[in-house]
Structure 1
Amino acid sequence: MIGIDEFLAMLATERGAARNTLLAYGRDLRQAEEMAGSELAALSAAQLAKLGQGWSSLAPSTMARKISALRQFYGFLIDEGEREDDPTHALPRPATRRPLPKILSHDQVEALFQCAETEAASERAEAVRLLTMLELLYGSGLRATELVSLPLSAVPRDEPFLTVTGKGGQARLVPISSRAKKVLSRWLAVRQTDSRWLFPSRSGHLTRIRLFQLLKDLAARADLPPEKLSPHVLRHAFATHLLEGGADLRALQTLLGHADIATTQIYTHVDAARLVKLVNERHPLARARASD
């Protein structure tokens, strides 16, 4: 019978699932199989119901992830003709609310850049590298993994774009600003290595963990709470501040590399006040009331 390994292989080849997604799904499915005490593909609705009951103490988001993995797994079995029934109707349906992203104010972003630019004025390699990474995280909205794994070949020569490989191995062109290009040039001038990576380390490229550490240290030096800063927070700030400036949601979806615009729509909450003001000031009925 087709099992978990075949399902994960399908996700990788047909849907282009990212490595972290495959690891998470594999872990959830194998844990479910271990809890049930028999082969996952052969479980009944009653057995799945017991699994759901066993997850009752988990956070709603964690339970939702596990249930999503199971629903997709059994859907795959049905598509492959391995099962005729779908036992996942017995699973609970936890209500989840996607958390709103943490954001930085314009003043906080300015404080970060002032600190990073002051330190980079010495042209020390480490300081110029940090400023370059900050420019690309906030100025282009890159994910942490996308940033640290940038090959040197991704750096443009004449065009104002980076070639970025995102989730699922999907490549996209990301525009970079004139100031980011200048900082990139400074970094390339002090980068003394023949590594194929833009941000190399001794064994390959800079790790995500090290990037987190560098940013939190920068936040402390800029008199900001270190817990407020991460690569993802800078990506959120990029999206939020673009929307505040009038960016189109579809354009933002492309810039962020979101496969589904529903993912991008989470950023619209930050512009709620501006939209309410827009309706109150510009809607014909609002103007009619004002003239009464």
Structure 2
Amino acid sequence: MGSLKSKRWSDSIDRAIDSLPPALADGVDAFGVFIELEKGHSRHTVEGYQRDICQCAQFVATKCKRQIWESVKGEDISAWLQSLDDEDYSAASLARKLSALKHCARFLVAEKVIRDDFTELLSAPKLARHLPDTLSPEEVDALLEAPSRHSAQGLRDRAFLELMYSSGLRVSELCALTLQNLDLEEGFLRVEAGKRGKDRLTPVGGRAIEAIKAYLHTARPQLVRPKTGSVVFLSNRGTALSRKTVWHWIKKYAQVAGIEKSVKPHGLRHSFATHLLSNGADLRAIQEMLGHADIGTTEIYTKVDRKQLISAHKRFHPRKA
């Protein structure tokens, strides 16, 4: 396997790896190199994998006294997962962490660092497919009207809220959107999916186009700085708007709008899909706009729609009693 070191963008990841016994640290680093260079994973994905694997390696080193990957056993991993469950980690988080470790273990077997895959007999916890939280059309209207029309920040925030609801963008896709990938004349934008994914074209609605034009014409020039690139949505420093900032302002505007339920960035994406389906859009078209590889992922919204139908039936049917 050698002593290849993965590119470390994060100080926290750097410290976590360096705190491990050398042999365990080498395995985490080599796996990072593999998924970055061979698999073409993004920086965000590489860091996520390494963070989960470091957490496991730290546990087996301190609690199970393992100094090398070859000595790690399946029961060590079970004990690690149990410790996380005791700390109230969600089933989704446990499944993600085990998936990362399974990928790493297979890599270590292929590299002949270990003979047997210590995760082979472990299965992920079963995940309950929760219905996503959505806003009603009235709540969406109130949220989108909350930002000011008289400040650069308000115009920016109104534009990104309109766009998230109009096109079902993930917050990461919104923050990475560039001017080159935005075609307001044709009413489309291109979402770049990275090295391993597939770019997709997504429609932009009329109100979102109006809000974005107002932002680009009036507000964005006020936010541009000498080193500003071509990203559409800018912070007050002229850099790309961060996911944390988007999250912060959505929560603020939800409070201004008087929305009592928890409103998260992904909630606008869920609302986009649910409202399209409720108004007769084809599920395959929604799948394409959301960028879901599997139609099964999109089908969760049919359950949301059925829930609304049952609620409406109970409220309005003359024979409901």
TM range (shorter): 0.7 to 0.9
Shift of 1:139: 0.4
Report the aligned-residue RMSD.
2.8
Q: What is the aligned partner in structure 2 of residue 48 from structure 1? A: 77
Per-residue CA deviation, residues 14-62 of structure 1 (Å, 9 max, x unaligned), is 5443433322221121221222222235523344344444444143333
Q: What is the aligned partner in structure 1 of residue 101 from structure 2? A: 70
Letter of the aligned partner of 1:40 in structure 2? Answer: W
Residue 205 of structure 2 is aligned to residue 199 of structure 1? no
Q: What is the aligned partner in structure 1 of residue 203 from structure 2? A: 175
Residue 68 of structure 2 is aligned to residue 39 of structure 1? yes
Q: What is the aligned partner in structure 1 of residue 50 from structure 2? A: 26
Distance 2:243 2:180 in 1: 20
Q: What is the aligned partner in structure 2 of residue 137 from structure 1? A: 164
Distance 1:56 1:126 in 2: 41
Q: What is the aligned partner in structure 1 of residue 272 from structure 2? A: 238
Residue 35 of structure 2 is aligned to residue 11 of structure 1? yes
Query: Residue 94 of structure 1 aligns to a residue in which SS?
Result: coil
Cα 1:14–1:253 shift into 2, 3 Å: farther
Per-residue CA deviation, residues 52-103 of structure 1 (Å, 9 max, x unaligned), is 4444414333322222222222223344555553322443642332433111
Distance 1:186 1:41 in 2: 60
Query: Residue 86 of structure 2 aligns to a residue in which SS?
Result: coil
Greater share of helix: 1
Cα 1:243–1:6 shift into 2, 3 Å: farther
Q: What is the aligned partner in structure 1 of residue 301 from structure 2? A: 267
Unaligned runs of 5+ in 2: 3-26, 62-66, 312-321
Letter of the aligned partner of 2:232 in structure 1? Answer: L
Letter of the aligned partner of 1:57 in structure 2? Answer: D
Distance 1:108 1:274 in 2: 16
Letter of the aligned partner of 2:189 in structure 1? Answer: L
Q: What is the aligned partner in structure 2 of residue 287 from structure 1? A: none
Conservation of the 8 A alpha-carbon contact between 1:46 and 1:90? no
Letter of the aligned partner of 1:160 in structure 2? Answer: G
Identity among equivalent positions (%) equals: 37
Shift of 1:271: 1.8
Cα 1:262–1:209 shift into 2, 3 Å: same
Letter of the aligned partner of 1:35 in structure 2? Answer: F
The size of the alignment, in residue pairs, is 272
Q: What is the aligned partner in structure 1 of residue 118 from structure 2? A: 87
Residue 243 of structure 2 is aligned to residue 219 of structure 1? no
Distance 2:54 2:107 in 1: 16
Per-residue CA deviation, residues 252-275 of structure 1 (Å, 9 max, x unaligned), is 222112233333222221122578
TM-score normalised by the chain length of structure 2:
0.74
Conservation of the 8 A alpha-carbon contact between 2:132 and 2:304? no
Query: Residue 87 of structure 1 aligns to a residue in which SS?
Result: coil
Conservation of the 8 A alpha-carbon contact between 1:8 and 1:22? yes
Residue 136 of structure 2 is aligned to residue 105 of structure 1? yes
Shift of 1:205: 1.4
Cα 1:16–1:262 shift into 2, 3 Å: farther
Unaligned runs of 5+ in 1: 278-292
Cα 1:182–1:41 shift into 2, 3 Å: farther
Letter of the aligned partner of 2:69 in structure 1? Answer: L
Cα 1:169–1:175 shift into 2, 3 Å: farther
Residue 212 of structure 2 is aligned to residue 184 of structure 1? yes
Letter of the aligned partner of 2:177 in structure 1? Answer: L
Conservation of the 8 A alpha-carbon contact between 1:32 and 1:40? no
Letter of the aligned partner of 1:143 in structure 2? Answer: R
Shift of 1:138: 0.3
Greater Cα offset, 249-258 or 73-82: 73-82
Cα 1:80–1:216 shift into 2, 3 Å: same
Cα 1:221–1:47 shift into 2, 3 Å: closer
Distance 1:261 1:16 in 2: 24
Cα 1:34–1:156 shift into 2, 3 Å: same
Cα 1:198–1:54 shift into 2, 3 Å: closer
Conservation of the 8 A alpha-carbon contact between 1:48 and 1:90? no
